[in-house]
């Protein structure tokens, strides 16, 4: 029996990223029992620390781990401010449509950090979030990520109206975010044109 259990566990851990789903589930459950955040525009903080399984060959935090931590922080963020539940009530979902990250200084083994997440703005299709990795040792911003969270089968405005029971004013879009939105829009248009050209040549 024990052998079968061990074999099954090896197969499961070898074929599915079990820790990802366990950690994501824990973040959501933990956020449910925390005090809700009524201000959807408020910055939320998740605390983290660089562990052995986060390291790469350079012995600092793996580039991909930053994106993974951002996933978990967004789960906590949208659970505590109610966005996920509001989207679910409207039969809508939210998926990452684009992201970019700038690394400024490595996070080393054992280093504690804060991951600060906030909604910067939105349009008719997407929320735009900023996520900052801030070292607890000296407050240095080690990395900054911008994320476009696409809303499917609804709009950000409808979700916010449903959640807040009132019209929420959209913040002015900062200049750096405007540049990024123009870039990803131009990229999408170029890819659509390329796909159309490929279809015509077939």
Tell me whether strands 112-122 and 126-135 are parallel, antiparallel or unpaired. antiparallel
Pick among 3.40.50.720, 3.30.70.60, 3.10.129.10, 3.30.1490.20: CATH of 44-183:
3.10.129.10
Splitting the chain (202 residues) into consecutive groups of 10 residues, what average pLDDT does each group show?
Answer: 75 78 91 91 96 92 96 96 95 96 96 98 96 97 97 96 91 92 93 71 46
What's the pLDDT tens digit per position in 110-123? 999 999 999 999 99
SS3 sequence, 151-190?
A: EECCCHHHHHHHHHCCCCCCCCCCHHHHHHHHHHHHHHHH
What's the pLDDT tens digit per position in 66-114? 999 999 999 999 999 999 999 999 999 999 999 999 999 999 999 999 9
Strands (E) located in the chain:
44-49, 93-103, 112-122, 126-135, 141-152
């Amino acid at each position: 029996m024990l052998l079968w259990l061990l074999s099954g566990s090896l197969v499961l851990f070898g074929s599915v990223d079990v820790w990802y789903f366990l950690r994501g589930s824990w973040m959501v459950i933990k956020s449910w029992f925390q005090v809700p955040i009524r201000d959807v525009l408020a910055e939320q903080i998740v605390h983290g620390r660089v562990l052995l399984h986060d390291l790469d060959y350079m012995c600092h935090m793996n580039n991909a781990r930053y994106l993974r931590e951002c996933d978990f922080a967004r789960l906590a963020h949208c659970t505590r401010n109610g966005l996920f539940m509001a989207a679910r009530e409207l039969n809508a979902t939210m998926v990452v449509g684009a992201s970019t990250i700038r690394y400024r200084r490595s996070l080393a083994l054992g280093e504690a950090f804060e991951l600060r997440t906030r909604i910067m703005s939105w349009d008719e299709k997407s929320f735009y979030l900023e996520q900052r990795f801030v070292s607890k040792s000296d407050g240095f911003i080690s990395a900054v990520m911008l994320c476009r969270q696409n809303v499917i089968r609804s709009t950000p405005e409808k979700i916010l109206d449903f959640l807040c029971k009132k019209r929420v004013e959209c913040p002015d879009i900062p200049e750096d975010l405007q540049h990024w939105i123009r870039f990803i829009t131009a990229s999408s248009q170029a890819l659509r044109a390329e796909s159309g050209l490929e279809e015509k040549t077939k």
